[in-house]
Structure 1
Amino acid sequence: MDVTALAADLRAVARRRNHRRMLVLAGAREAGLDAAFDAIEGAEIPDAATTIVTGREGFRFDRVAPEHAAELLGTTQSAVICDAHESFSPNVIGRLVGSVDGGGLFVLLTPPLDAWPDRPGSFEESLAVPPFGLDDVGGRFRERLVATLRTHPGVTIVDVDDGTVARRGDGETAMGEAPARSSPTVPTEGRRVFPRAAYEACLTADQSRALRALEALAGAERSDRSDGDGPAPRAVVVEADRGRGKSSAAGLAAGSLAAAGRDVLVTAPERRNAADVFARAETVLADLGALEESVAESGRDGHNEGPLSATGGGRVRFATPTAAVDRPGDPDCVIVDEAAALPVRLLSSFLDADAVAFVTTVHGYEGAGRGFSVRFRDDLTASPHAVTDVSMHEPIRYAAGDPLETWAFRTLLLDATPPVATLLEGASPSTVEYRALDPSDLAADEHLLRSVFGLLVLAHYRTEPNDLARLLDAPNLRVRALEHDGHVVSVALLAREGGLDAPTRAAMYDGARVRGNMLPDVFTSQLRDEAAGRPVGYRIVRIATHHAARSRGLGSTLLDEIRAEFAETADYLGVAYGATPELLSFWDANGFDTVHLSTTRNESSGEYSALMLAPLSPAGQRLRDRHARWFRDRIPAVLTDQLSDADADVIRGALAACPPPAEPPTLSEREWRVVVGASTGPGQYTTAPDAFRRLALAALLGAPATGEGSSRPLTAREERLLVQKPLQTRPWTAVADDLGYVSTRECMRAFGASYEALVDRYGSHRDVVAAERARFKE
């Protein structure tokens, strides 16, 4: 077997078709590395156009460690060598495949394929979370990977141990020339807004159509939406699979806008995700002679890493998603790249901008897109924005029908979708069947696996290829579903946690990280409860109901079935998620109680995380009770510090979902005089703020009334007022503005009225209260 000649042949076929080819070198690692070098030489690919991803050092090619494979996202290589013998994971494949250019080679070094499923590596070791061991981890994903390598077109397999070609996977795809790429179009002068140079930089008709759609951003003018006058705000949605040039089109638009004097704010999950946007914007500004070179900051990869400034005063700059929602610097328009990799709540906040573009991957490692297209679309439709949609289909890096792209989609389920909506039209709690889905069932039934994974993708804004392997092989995970007429309509992914031995609990208490035990880890290491790892719980990692069957009680039905199933074998059910008012209400309605709010925001979602428990046994109830009590005790101090900027409705929801204290609040006679004086007389809140804080907390937690009187319920606005003023201690002016009071004085009067209701509800020392009120009524 001559690998040099074989690689030359594969490279020739790939270049003729403008497709990519995969060369699998299976066998001993050293032999595979030697063969990979021979393949690159035979294919006549320059060293500078080759990257090897491996833990080894000392290669003439650029080397990237597997854990840093994400650095290649958005880059283009003629050849990528992936060493799967060490630190290999599904994410590595997802990150690397899209980096190979048309006519290039993806070289995969593997153990012998027959033995690979039974040879766990570092990724499989990460799935062996306590109390499970490595022997408990499955090999189903690796079996799936091997099966697709042996059957998919475009994959050639060489056994480097015996020197034979085990499979030549070209078949009919080796025939013929590459399909012609479509030609971009340039709108005539007077029919376009962006400069001709921007359209001449497009590579396909799809890209020029996307650029034309993005011209809508230039037509949006700043308006005061409160009076209903002025032009409608504009939103543009650009959707495409990876490799279609959507980010480049956004960059051409950004550069064109900056050249016209506009301030363009770009955001993405990470700065590297927006590299193409800035590279193309810089190109347009340079071609137009409008780039101020002095402000460009070149990164180590040669791309600009700082803001781009145009000679006419325009600029293109980057901000992280959580910073960009506040639109720092009051930009003229916002471009959200890789939008599907951001949570829906964060995306919706960008609709405050008068001109905004959402550029997103439909299928691919960076974001699955269905959460964007299904859930965010509702918010977009309800917004006042005039929406322009454009989809891009034609690949740019390689020709259509590329076998490596379809192999990645098939192997990693990047294009997994839930069942067709029409199949679930009649789904209801009375028509569904509860089913425990074993990993072997999922591995053996491709249709079932795609349905389940497609729904799980909808449940979270960023589902990775690693999640597919966890679903198939992680011993601590369980999948439960509801089926309607044999079709999955609702699904939950659960992780077994706790049940840890004393040495493990002690190590966790001393700061050791114990994988796969999220709730026990927080309770033990952060909240200092060494006994928290003893009870066995199941954390609900994901729960999703098909969008065609939502609001029918199916999610609650699934949780009821899960609760019934695990009532005899577990101590509690738990959940941890980015807290929103809607989610807090859902979990509260399903019997889950707040026991913790994180004190830092999630970097991607911008949300504080809520931890909630639903006890199943006395041990679970004791765990819930003490952490709920500790949460009630510490939350007043936290709200004045780390959570002082938290959304009032999130705090309302978290407190309402916490088990209330058994007794009403206790105030001294003097404190009641101050509270009554501030609510109905000339007294001041600042005289005894702690008394007001305790009353507000009791009301929001639902503490029992004294039984001596009755009071009206507080309005939602009044509850927000109690959160923001006595609990978060925000300035009166900020509270009045945020809650829509016409003046600070009106806000203060509303504050007093709310405390009149709380005095009625909780007022002990009735004689004192009555006497104080009587004096102010005279």
Structure 2
Amino acid sequence: MDLHFKIQDWLKARKNHLCHRQLVVISGAENWSQRLSKEIIAVAEIPEEKLLWVGNRLGSTLNVDCHTYRQHLGTEYNALVYNMYTGLSANALMAFSGTIMAGGIMILICPEFARWPVYPDPLASKRSSYGCEQSLHLSHFTRRLISLIKNDLNTIIITPEEMSGHNAHVPQEDIGRKLNSSTPEQQTLITSILKMSDSHKDRPLVITADRGRGKSSALGLAARELIKKKSKKIIITAPNKRNVEHVFAFAKSSLLTQDSTSTNVPLAFVAPDALLAAPHKADLLFIDEAAAIPASILKALLNKFPRVVMSSTVHGYEGAGRGFELRFKPYLEKNKKGWKAFTLTMPIRWYKNDCLEAFWFHCFMMEDITSCSTDKHITAIPEAVLPIPLDSIIANTEAHNVIEVSRAQLVDDPILLHQTFSLLVNAHYQTSPDDLVRLLDAPEQRLFTYTLNSKVVGVALINEEGGDELSKLSALITRGDRRVNGHLVAQNLALHTANQAFCRMKQWRVVRIAVDKRQRRNNIGSALLNTISESAKNEGVELLTSSFGASENLLNFWTQNIFSPLKLGFKRDAASDEVSMIVGLALSAYASTLVSKLRDQFARELHYYISRYHRMTNTALLTRLLTHCKSEPLTVDEKHQIACFLESKNPFGTFSQVLAKYLLMKLSSVKTSSEIPIGTDLLVASLLQFKPTETLITEFNLSGKKALNKHIRLALIDL
């Protein structure tokens, strides 16, 4: 049968039956594929306003760039065409797939399957580090994507020669369900929110779900009931006003407003920072897209409002949902004992078991993220232990091995890839679909795995940095005139120290370490670092580094594996709510000299900046960092002043300068964190961070100024 007749029959069948959303792949020359896509859109009678075209489009300017996907979230289309010739963005593919309404189609235009893996993707260089572009000759991710497409019976594949695949009909039992209407799950959730409004004080309700499950509509419907039947006042906050448009749409009341300045309306939007900056009163606070709000703000909001409902997307194109799971829920467990969790599973914008969603979930292994809310077995923070020989790590007879795994091995072994990426996804809050593409394609990335009885229980992801290619730009980078893709730590340290050597030196950066929590007491993180260190030395690498959101546990892990703190950032990361830290381990004599100088610089900077830029940084973290800093010895007169203070009842402020110097000297002699006396954090907070007196009294649970002075004196004696 002629190809055009087959296409018409396929589209006619879609009109005559209720079908799931569907992926259509047109593989062939770009112009031919675009013309065929246009024909499909015309035969399907899809109006221009219900079509989104991503990438190049023949004879029309009605197209968008793939990187604008955030602007289209919340909008629905009958059809979406994605031109792969313009470039592949995994985050965009995942996000755009969620904009297609029930019964719609997603068309991918791509080169011939035989040519696609070696096609020079225009976006490939943006996914790799500077200097690695010449190595981009084969896309292992595309190889895998083609295999998934060919093996998915619900995907339509069209080439100049043939057409394959079939429609996926919605089962008869689901046809009667009206889309975009409330589900029994939502009704149960709404009832819980209504009950919460009159009781459950200080017991937050946390809603999690995949996209399309009706979180926003449930909040809107609950708001309408609370306003109409109980005359409640509700404030809703989110990272952006656009995030809550659906909430207001479902609330359906002329009394509602999105004006953050309104105070006399039953439902108002107020930005998170504005909500904390001024007094606001409400019976309930709704926090939508909570995963995208810094944890410090969420904590402050929970303490300010007695009744809080939070919603968060479980998985996402940017990994934000995992940050909420990994970093904020433990806080709730500890500080809000009565908090409740509610998960929405039934889609409302398309039918259950939608084949388009299933395809992309499988492609990017998002099934693991979806189920991870109850998975308590993965950790990104290996237990801090001293490095020990690999053969003594596992005390029993279980077979273990630490090896480097190639990109080709990952693609050719689906089980290995699944186990590896699952660990990365479930252990780190920012792992996204784009990271899967980089894992399989980025030439500068290296992967090491720890297997136990043939199962991957630990992984470490490495980026190669510095070296010959970057050295060509070392002068420009050091002056701050140039910044290139990748080489995060190499460029950072070169600029920070005004030393081109950090660009020229061959180094590896440990991007991530993820360990199965059930194996955390077996020193797997340390074993991975040992193997990485030996491999790096064998390849002439001079420096191992890592950059991460600073926390006490992570600092302990890295320092006990003999990595030195080299730089502490000033700004908090929006997702982790932590300042960044760079640590390093020298692997050559030349690198040791540079690292030694950098450690001295780090000490001087921390002493100088601690009261200026780190007043709100975690005090316990700073205390531990100070144990890695050299300090000046006390003079005879200074020792006398300290002795006089300890014997007197004078306020500590009079002697704060010399007491601070004494504290720094004592901390510099500490060998392990267990040697730090209990009261030392109070000394750091008062003498070095200069926290206000009232803050110190509250933070350390003291009765007043006299008690503060007494505890500072006792803590100094304990030093």
Same fold (TM over 0.5): yes
- CA deviation map 1:660-681 (0-9, x unaligned): 42xx623445544544444433
SS at the partner of 2:17? helix
**Cα 1:550–1:267, aligned 2, differ >3 Å: closer, same or farther?**
farther
Choose which of 384, 390, 398 in structure 1 pairs with 2:350.
398
Partners of 1:446 and 1:59 in 2: CA distance: 41
For each residue in 1:148-186, what CA deviation from the matched residue of structure 2 results, as whole angstroms up to 9, or x when unmatched?
A: 222213322333xx4x4x332116x258758235479xx
Please give the alpha-carbon distance, in whole angstroms, between the structure 1 residues aligned to 2:684 and 2:8: 67
What SS does the corresponding residue of 2:457 show, helix, strand or coil? strand
TM-aligned CA deviation for residue 139 of structure 1: 0.8
Residue identity matched to 1:403: C
Bigger drift between 135-144 and 14-23 goes to 14-23
| Residues 1:524 and 2:494 are matched in the alignment | yes
Partner of residue 561, structure 2: 590
Give the SS at the match of 1:253: helix
1:35 is aligned to 2:36: yes
Query: What are the within-5 Å matches in structure 2 for residues 164-563 of structure 1?
Result: 164=161, 166-170=162-166, 173-174=168-169, 179-182=174-177, 202-220=181-199, 222=201, 233-257=202-226, 260=230, 262=232, 264=234, 266=236, 268=238, 270-271=239-240, 275=243, 277-286=244-253, 289-291=254-256, 295-296=257-258, 311-312=265-266, 315-319=268-272, 329=280, 332-339=283-290, 352=303, 354-365=306-317, 367=319, 378-416=330-368, 428=394, 430=396, 431=398, 432-500=400-468, 501-511=470-480, 512-563=482-533
**CA distance in 2: counterparts of 1:7 and 1:405, whole angstroms:** 24
CA contact (8 A) 1:255 1:316 kept: no
Question: How many residues are aligned here?
Answer: 693
Corresponding residue SS for 2:86: coil
The answer to whether residue 48 in structure 2 is matched with residue 77 in structure 1 is no
The 1:329–1:553 alpha-carbon spacing in structure 2 relative to 1, beyond 3 Å, is farther
Shift of 1:30: 3.1
| 1:698 matched residue in structure 2 | 665
Instruction: State the shift of 1:470 in Å.
Output: 0.7
Residue identity opposite 1:396 in structure 2? I
Tell me by how many angstroms 1:239 deviates.
3.1
Alpha-carbon distance, 1:576 to partner: 1.1
In the TM superposition, residue 598 of structure 1 has moved relative to its aligned partner by 0.4
CA distance in 2, matches of 1:744, 1:441: 64
Alignment match, 1:151: 151
TM-score normalized with structure 2 length: 0.86
Return 433-442 or 211-220, whichever deviates more: 211-220
Q: Give, in angstroms, the shift of residue 408 of structure 1.
A: 0.5
Which residue of 2 is the match for residue 680 of structure 1?
647
The answer to whether the 8 Å contact 1:671/1:688 transfers is no
- Residue by residue over 1:670-702, the C-alpha shift from the partner in whole angstroms, topping out at 9 and shown as x without a partner, is 544544444433666555654333333333333
- C-alpha deviations, 1:526-563, integer Å up to 9, x for none? 34222112332222211111133334433233333333
Letter in 2 for 1:271: N
Distance 1:116 1:727 in 2: 59
Q: Deviations over 1:374-394 (max 9, x none)?
A: 775555444443344433232
Displacement after TM superposition at 1:331 (Å):
5.4
Q: Which amino acid counterpart does residue 452 of structure 1 have in structure 2?
A: T
Q: Which residue of 2 aligns with 1:715?
A: 677
**1:733-756 CA-partner distances (Å, limit 9, x unpaired):** 322222222111221232233344
Task: Give, as a single letter, the amino acid of the residue that structure 2 aligns with 1:624.
Answer: V
TM-score (norm 1): 0.80
User: Alignment partner of 2:85: what SS?
Assistant: coil
Structure 1's 154 and 368: CA in aligned 2 closer, same or farther, altered over 3 A? farther
The alpha carbon displacement at 1:638 in A equals 1.3
Residue 296 to residue 331, structure 1, CA distance change in 2 (3 Å): closer
Residues 390-443 of structure 1, C-alpha deviation per residue, up to 9 Å, x if partnerless? 33232222112222111101212111479999999xx95653322222111111
C-alpha displacement of 1:100: 0.3
> Residue type matched to 2:448 in 1?
R
Please give the alpha-carbon distance, in whole angstroms, between the structure 2 residues aligned to 1:345 and 1:738: 15
Q: Note if contact 1:181-1:204 (Cα within 8 Å) is conserved in structure 2.
A: no
Structure 1: which 5+ residue stretches go unaligned? 185-200, 223-232, 298-305, 705-711, 759-778
1:33 Cα deviation (Å)?
A: 2.8
Deviation track 1:276-326 (CA, whole Å, cap 9, x = no partner) reads x4422354251xx532xxx535xxxxxxxx5776635x5343326xx8799
Tell me, yes or no, if the aligned pair for 1:674 and 1:683 is still in contact at 8 Å: no
8 A Cα contact 1:610 1:654, kept in partner: no
Q: CA deviation at 1:262?
A: 4.8
CA distance in 2, matches of 1:551, 1:265: 45
Q: Distance in 2 between matches of 1:106 and 1:518?
A: 36
Equivalents in 1 of 2:414, 2:226: separation in Å?
A: 46
Name the SS for the 1:45 alignment partner. coil
| Larger mean Cα displacement after TM superposition, 9-18 or 367-376 | 367-376
How much has 1:372 moved relative to structure 2? 5.3
Q: Which whole-Å CA distance do the structure 1 matches of 2:224 and 2:567 have between them?
A: 45
* Whole-Å separation in 2 of the counterparts to 1:579 and 1:423: 22
Give, as a single letter, the amino acid of the residue that structure 2 aligns with 1:365: Y
Contact map agreement 2:652 2:712 (CA 8 A) in 1: no
When residues 338 and 175 of structure 1 are mapped into structure 2, their CA distance, relative to the original with a 3 A threshold, is closer
2:385 counterpart residue number: none
Equivalent of 1:738 in 694, 699, 711: 699
Q: 1:238 and 1:646, CA in 2 relative to 1: closer, same or farther beyond 3 A?
A: same
Q: Which runs of 5+ in 2 are unaligned?
A: 379-392
Contact kept in structure 1, 2:448 and 2:461, CA below 8 Å: yes
Supply the AA of the counterpart residue of 1:489. V
| Equivalent residue number for residue 22 of structure 2 | 21
Q: 2 CA distance for matches of 1:390 and 1:579?
A: 31
Supply the distance in 1 between the matched residues of 2:16 and 2:592 (Cα, whole angstroms): 65
| Residue 674 to residue 523, structure 1, CA distance change in 2 (3 Å) | same
Distance 1:374 1:505, change over 3 A: closer
Distance in structure 2 (CA, Å) of the matches to 1:311 and 1:548: 51
Question: In the alignment, is the contact (CA less than 8 A) between 2:293 and 2:574 conserved in 1?
Answer: no
Q: Residues 367, 532 of structure 1: CA spacing in aligned structure 2 closer, same or farther, 3 A cutoff?
A: closer
The C-alpha deviation readout for 1:435-482, integer Å capped at 9, x for no partner, is 222111111111111111111012211211110011111111111121
State the superposition RMSD in angstroms.
3.6
> Separation in 2 of the partners of 1:674 and 1:7?
93
Secondary structure of the residue aligned to 2:687 is helix
Task: Report the Cα distance in structure 2 between the residues aligned to 1:455 and 1:73, rounded to whole angstroms.
Answer: 28
Q: Which moves more between the two structures, 1-10 or 428-437?
A: 1-10
Provide the C-alpha distance between the structure 2 equivalents of 1:702 and 1:636, rounded to a whole number of angstroms.
Answer: 16
- The secondary structure found in structure 2 opposite 1:492 is strand
Look up the equivalent residue of 1:74 and give its one-letter code. Answer: G
Tell me if the contact between 1:29 and 1:85 (Cα under 8 Å) persists in the aligned partners.
Answer: yes
2:538 partner SS: coil
CA distance in 1, matches of 2:377, 2:317: 28
Say whether the 8 Å CA contact 1:258–1:310 is kept in structure 2.
Answer: no
Shift, 1:255, TM fit: 4.8
Deviation at 1:327, TM superposition (A): 10
